[in-house]
């Protein structure tokens, strides 16, 4: 039995789908009872647990062959990342109590960066779970292609993609969420000992220009990149409600300056197969459906 947290999201959903199609038993770990029926119909066992409750999580993980951990993301953390520290304590307590055979944890590119930034929350997660006497795989994907969902409206309505990633011709490691889920499904069924890191990026690196071109191809009209000057970032983020924008700004610096990247080629690197344009097409289609709903 494979216990999956975050199953209602894109990565967790893709992971569960791959396991179900392979005939594997899946336990959907859910917080909201309203979302249970769809997973029951797909043949899943259901367990209810809040990610902040170690006792509930331990019960949901008990007896599992493998557990997939998708921690909540905090995009505006308090200084020092107390939210992450609390979540890590809950997870380690639950896993030690349940003692599944193995754990796959969704981490991120940049979890090994030495400079403090928004992704340092995943650094702390890896450190906490790395102390467990359980086999743990940290899956570090690149920038999600689906982050382009925030660009759909401006690309469609204005023909503009406002980019914090820069310069416009610099390429970045990106990957589709369905490829993350599929690889996680493979990893969680493997046997290993100790701790390991697996990095994942898509079939080709992607620049802001590539994103604009993909939107242009899907939308059928030109789309150009407009770089958002760094001097404007803090004001923009605070206007959006951010109280502590510095970690997010430093994360973007890390991508743009190159100190957030995959650092080693070799056996721990995997590549997804989903091309960028397919992801953009799906995002545009979903946006159109939501406008007409």
Tokens (6 digits) for 119: 């992704």
- pLDDT at residue 289 in the model: 87
- Select from 3.30.1360.200, 3.20.170.30, 3.40.470.10, 3.40.50.720 the CATH code of 2-290: 3.40.50.720
CB atoms within 10 A of CB 73: 15
Tokens (6 digits) for 148: 């382009």
- pLDDT at residue 263 in the model: 81
The Cα 113–Cα 129 span in angstroms is: 17
Helix (H/G/I), strand (E/B), else coil: 160: strand
Phi/psi of residue 200, nearest 5 degrees: -140, 130
- pLDDT at residue 264 in the model: 66
Q: What share of the chain is helix, strand, coil (3-state, %, to 5)?
A: 45, 15, 35
**Is pTM, for the whole model, over 0.75?**
yes
- pLDDT at residue 43 in the model: 96
Tokens (6 digits) for 163: 């980019």
The Cα 49–Cα 58 span in angstroms is: 9
Per-residue pLDDT of the chain (293 residues; tens, 9 = 90+): 999 999 999 999 999 999 999 999 999 999 999 999 999 999 999 999 999 999 999 999 999 999 999 998 899 999 999 999 999 999 999 999 999 999 999 999 999 999 999 999 999 999 999 999 999 999 999 999 999 999 999 999 999 999 999 999 999 999 999 999 999 999 999 999 999 999 999 999 999 999 999 999 999 999 999 999 999 999 999 999 999 999 999 999 999 999 999 986 656 889 999 999 999 999 999 998 887 76
The Cα 87–Cα 128 span in angstroms is: 10
Pairing of strands 224-227, 195-201: unpaired
Q: How many residues does the chain have?
A: 293
């Amino acid at each position: 039995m494979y216990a999956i947290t975050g199953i209602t999201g894109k990565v967790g959903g893709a992971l569960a789908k791959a396991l179900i199609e392979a005939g594997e038993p899946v336990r959907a770990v859910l917080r909201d009872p309203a979302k249970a029926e769809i997973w029951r119909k797909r043949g899943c066992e259901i367990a209810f647990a809040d990610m902040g409750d170690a006792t509930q999580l331990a019960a949901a993980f008990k007896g599992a062959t493998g557990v997939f951990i998708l921690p909540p993301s905090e995009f505006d953390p308090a200084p020092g990342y107390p939210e992450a520290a609390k979540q890590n304590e809950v997870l380690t307590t639950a896993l030690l109590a349940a003692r599944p055979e193995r754990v796959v944890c969704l981490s991120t590119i940049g979890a090994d960066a030495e400079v403090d930034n928004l992704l340092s929350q995943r650094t702390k997660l890896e450190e906490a779970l790395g102390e467990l006497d359980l086999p743990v795989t940290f899956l570090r994907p690149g920038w999600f292609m689906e982050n382009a969902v925030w660009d759909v409206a401006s690309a469609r309505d204005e023909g503009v993609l406002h980019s914090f990633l820069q310069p416009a011709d610099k390429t970045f490691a990106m990957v589709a969420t369905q490829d993350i889920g599929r690889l996680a499904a493979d990893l969680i069924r493997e046997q290993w000992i100790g701790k390991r890191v697996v990095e994942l990026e898509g079939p080709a690196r992607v620049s802001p220009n590539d994103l604009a071109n993909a939107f242009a191809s899907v939308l059928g009209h030109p789309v150009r990149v407009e770089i958002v000057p760094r001097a404007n970032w803090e004001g923009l983020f605070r206007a959006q409600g951010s109280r502590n924008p510095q970690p997010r700004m430093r994360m973007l610096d890390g991508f743009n300056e190159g100190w957030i990247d995959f650092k080693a080629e070799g056996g721990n690197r995997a590549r997804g197969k989903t091309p960028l344009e397919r992801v953009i097409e799906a995002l545009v289609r979903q946006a159109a459906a939501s406008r007409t709903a």
